[in-house]
Structure 1
Amino acid sequence: MPKVKHRHSKARGRKRRTHDKIEAPSSVKCVQCGKEKKPHCVCSHCGYYGKVKVKHIETAEERKARKDAKKKKA
């Protein structure tokens, strides 16, 4: 087992550990719907990125209609 050549002081060890903290993820409000979302990401609720619609989000009625059509087909 190796031995420590020079002991580090408590202050020096604590200074090193100041950057080890866990930060809460940041969030911003969506421009279109006002829900919380991650910055620089498409809103998972409405599908907008800024003022541009990027992704189609399926509503509950659309989802139900798709499942019913699938059942009728099978």
Structure 2
Amino acid sequence: MAHPKRRQSKSRKKKRRNFYRISNPRLGKDPITKQYHLYHRAHWYENKLYYKGKIILENKLYS
């Protein structure tokens, strides 16, 4: 019976099994602005950058 010369890596095995599917991105709702955004990402709303419900940057150029 034939045996492989070297062990296959986990990533190579997972590529071969190919059961991964593309899914819709998970969206979170900001508690302050009520806007939907990607999880763990900052988002702009009315020239302010929000992350976890807090303002982290204000764009005063266009205000």
1:47 maps to 49
Question: Relative to total residues, which structure has the larger strand share, 1 or 2?
Answer: 2
Task: Count matched residues.
Answer: 46
Instruction: Specify every segment of 5 or more residues in structure 2 that has no aligned partner in the other structure, as ranges.
Output: 1-16
Question: Relative to total residues, which structure has the larger helix share, 1 or 2?
Answer: 1
> Where does structure 1 differ by over 6 angstroms across 4 or more consecutive aligned residues?
none
% same residue: 16
Write the distance in 2 (CA, Å) between the matches of 1:57 and 1:31: 21
2:34 maps to 34
1:25 maps to 25
Q: Residue 30 of structure 2 contacts residue 53 of structure 2 at CA under 8 Å; is this kept in 1? A: no
Higher RCO (CA-CA < 8 Å; seq separation 6+): 2
The one-letter amino acid of 1:17's match is N
Instruction: Specify every segment of 5 or more residues in structure 1 that has no aligned partner in the other structure, as ranges.
Output: 1-15, 63-74
Q: Which has the larger radius of gyration?
A: 1
TM-score by length of 2: 0.53
